[in-house]
Amino acid sequence: MVRYAEPGALDWVESGGGPLIAVPEAVLPFWTGADGEENASDYDRACEVDGCVGLLPVGDSAALVLGDEPASTAYLPEHGTFVRWCAANSEAELLAEVPQALATADWGEEVRWQVPGDVVLFDCAWPGTDTERTDSLRVVLEPGSYTVRAANVQPGPETWLGLVQLRRLP
């Protein structure tokens, strides 16, 4: 697989062309990825999500689908935000623009996500039981309800990024 995000300060997750998905660790075994009947796999369900984010039932929980485009994605815990690398000359350039991007983002409609704890971000084509063998990122989250909102932002002339922000509800 071609890596678009050069190694740097963050761990970046990439996909083979489909959406990325954040599945709660507690229900990882229930995510079957592209395995399954024709046009009825979990991968197919994830590809049907319209827009930048969506939720899909998995076991007794829900997974967060990062739709729109298969951009390299990292998680910034200090901002509670997945950052999607659409265009930038370097990781440093992209990360320097994040505060301005967060401040000026035109956020889309929010969804509410109930999370039982930590989640794993990976290419939705993979089964949840195989995340150790592929690009994946464990994201530490407190159990509870979160609002999720997304935006695509161009904070600089050659920098475009996607933002998916998680905000924990009291």
Domain regions of the chain by residue span? 20-168
Closest CA to 140 of 162, 121, 112, 164: 121
**pTM, to two decimals:** 0.92
Taking the C-alpha atoms of residue 86 and residue 24, their distance in angstroms, rounded to an integer, is 25
Which two tokens mark 111? Answer: 């969804």
Q: Following CA atoms 107, 109, 112, 115 in sequence, which dihedral angle do they give, to the nearest 10 degrees?
A: -50
Please report, in tens digits, the pLDDT of each residue of the chain (170 residues total).
334 445 578 999 999 888 999 999 999 999 999 986 666 899 999 999 988 999 999 999 999 999 888 899 999 999 999 999 999 999 999 999 999 999 999 999 999 999 999 999 999 999 999 988 888 999 999 999 999 999 999 998 899 999 999 999 99
The whole-angstrom separation of Cα 35 and Cα 27 is 16
